[in-house]
Structure formats: C-alpha cells, structure tokens
C-alpha cells in the first residue's frame, strides 16, 4: 500500500491504481465521461484533469483516468489551472455534441460556461435587411443578450409576407398557415400572426391583408392592388393568360 495526497487529504491506495479510481473509492469528486471500470482508460473526454507537481516543480494538469499513483503524489482536483483545463475540455465536447444534455448538465454542475445552444441561425442578418430595406417595415432586429446575439421581433409590425423565411439560408424562419391565420416564427419566438385573405378565384387563403396593403403602398400599379382584383398568384396568372389568348383571338 502507498499513500498519496488529494486536496490536502492523505489517502491510502494500491500500487497500480489510477488517481481517478482512488478518488472514486474515497468519494472524491472528479468529473469524467469516457471512463468505465470494465475497459482500459483512454483519456478521450479530457474532463478528468487534475493538477500535480511535475518533477521540475512545475504545476501541470494530467488526466486522472490515466495517471498512476506513486508515493508522495500530491493531487489537486479543483485549482484555477484545473478549471481552465476543464473549461476547454467541456467546450470541445459540446462543439462535437451540442445536443447532448448530459454534457451541458455536467458543465453546469462544475460551473463551466458553455457557448449558447445552436439555434439554426447563422446571424447573417439577411432577414433583417430584407425586412428593413425591401419590405420596409422593420419587423426584425438583432438583440444582444448576456452571452449571444439573436434575431427577435423588431419595432415594426410584421405584415406576414414571408420574405424573411424565403431568404433565410438555413430555413430556421417558419411560415405556417393554419385556421386562416399566418404565423411567422423563429423556433418558438413568434414574429407575427395575421389573418389570411381568400382568393376570389379558387377560394384558397393566399395572403394577409396587411401584406396586400403594403404592396399597394409600395407599388400602386401592382395587379394585386386593383379594387376589382382579389386573386392569388396562380389565379392571376390564369386570368392574364386567358386575357392574352382572347386578345390574340380577337385580332385574328
């Protein structure tokens, strides 16, 4: 039997054991993910780092699942050096498996700050720019939080045109038409909910009144803005084709 020191506590252990094995048998907490007692340790997750003093007298971090005990070994499990190593290890794991709740929960337990969870948005601002510069309503904006920036509902009123969803390169912005209402949303954040207008030709619910009014304001010559014309794009195309055909027939 040999004796080592863990966090200023003398611990008796067997030669050939690892520091992690000794810590576990003595109820000393060291985080770990890739260790299993039935398998040879690999040190893949890197979160089980501990601080020791090297032969040169320098403090360094080594993986406790691989580090074998030896007489007089002095181990610290939660020094500033260990915390920095642990932070880097958890961030690395999180980048490889952002959907793994166990990694995020364990990082929180050990007071490790991880990047925000991926939300599908790449912060390209295309949606904000098209809403501001083309649609000209400013229904979206970028908002800074404590740890990130994200697209949220802006000061302007959404008209339900769906242009932001069409231009989004990742498809994170959704347009849902249900029960005669159009909903524009980014994940669980609703940007706008507006009633739909019915096409007089085919009867489908095809656009919001706010969008049609916006088109009328920006481009009064657009065919959808004429008082007698309340048709969806498909019916508009059919009517236009019919009118062109009839005009050509009359000329003959």
CATH number at residue 60: 3.10.20.740
As beta bridge partners, residue 176 has 183
In a domain, 116, yes or no: no
Residues 103 and 212 both lie in one domain: no
Q: Check: CB of residue 46 under 8 Å from CB of residue 92.
A: yes
Least confident of 32-36, 63-67, 93-97, 241-245: 241-245
Q: Is residue 114 part of a domain?
A: no
Domain count along the chain: 2
Kindly report, residue by residue over 211-239, the tens digit of the pLDDT.
887 776 666 555 554 454 667 777 777 76
**In-domain check, residue 202:** yes
**Burial of 87: CB neighbours in 10 Å, binned 0-12, 13-18, 19+:** middle
| Residue 212 within any structural domain of the chain | yes
247 and 130 both lie in a single domain: yes
Structural domain boundaries enclosing 211: 126-251
Say how many C-beta atoms besides its own lie within 10 A of residue 69's C-beta: 21
The reply to whether 101 and 146 lie within a common domain is no
Q: How confident is the model at residue 204 (pLDDT cuts 50, 70, 90)?
A: confident
Query: How would you label 186-210 residue by residue, b for 16+ Cβ within 10 Å and e otherwise?
Result: beeeebbebebbebebeeebbbbeb
> For residue 187, is it within any domain?
yes
- 115 inside domain: no
pLDDT category at 242 given cuts 50, 70, 90 is low
Question: Is residue 35 over pLDDT 80?
Answer: yes
Do both 78 and 158 map to the same domain? no
> Based on the domain organization, do 131 and 246 belong to the same domain?
yes
Whole-number percent of the chain with pLDDT over 90: 65
Residue 176 has pLDDT above 90, yes or no: yes
Q: Are residues 183 and 71 in the same domain?
A: no
> For all residues of the chain together, what is the average pLDDT?
87
- Distance from C-alpha of 209 to C-alpha of 97, rounded to nearest angstrom: 44
For residues 96 and 133, state if they share a domain: no
Q: Check whether residue 205 and residue 138 sit in a common domain.
A: yes
Scan for tokens 């929960």, then name that residue: 105
16 and 84 share a domain? yes
In this prediction, residue 243 carries a pLDDT of 47
Residue that finishes a domain, picked among 79, 109, 139: 109
What is residue 240's predicted lDDT score, i.e. its pLDDT? 65
Q: Is the backbone of residue 137 left (phi > 0), alpha (psi -120 to 50) or beta?
A: alpha
Interval 105-148: pLDDT, tens:
999 999 999 988 888 899 999 999 999 999 999 999 999 877 78
């Amino acid at each position: 039997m040999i004796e080592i020191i863990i966090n200023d506590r003398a611990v008796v252990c067997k030669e050939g054991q690892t520091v992690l094995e000794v810590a576990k048998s003595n109820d000393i907490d060291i985080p770990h993910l890739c260790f299993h007692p039935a398998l040879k340790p690999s040190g893949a997750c890197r979160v089980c780092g501990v601080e020791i003093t090297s032969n040169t007298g320098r403090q360094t971090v080594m993986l406790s699942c691989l580090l074998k005990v030896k007489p007089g070994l002095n181990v610290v499990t939660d020094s500033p050096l260990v915390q920095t190593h642990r932070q880097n290890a958890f961030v690395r794991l999180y980048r490889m498996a952002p959907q793994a709740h166990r990694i995020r929960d364990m990082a929180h337990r050990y007071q490790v700050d991880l990047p925000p969870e991926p939300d599908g948005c790449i912060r390209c601002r295309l949606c904000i720019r098209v809403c501001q510069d083309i649609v000209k309503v400013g229904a979206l904006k970028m908002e800074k939080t404590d740890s990130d920036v994200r697209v949220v509902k802006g000061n302007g009123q959404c008209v339900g045109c769906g242009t932001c969803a069409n231009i989004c390169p990742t498809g994170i912005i959704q347009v849902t038409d249900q029960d005669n209402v159009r909903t524009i949303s980014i994940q669980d954040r609703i940007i706008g909910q507006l009633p739909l207008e019915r096409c007089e030709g085919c009867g489908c619910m095809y656009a919001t009144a706010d969008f049609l009014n916006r088109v009328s304001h920006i481009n009064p010559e657009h065919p959808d803005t004429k008082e007698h014309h309340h048709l969806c794009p498909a019916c508009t195309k059919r009517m236009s084709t019919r009118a062109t055909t009839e005009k050509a027939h009359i000329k003959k």
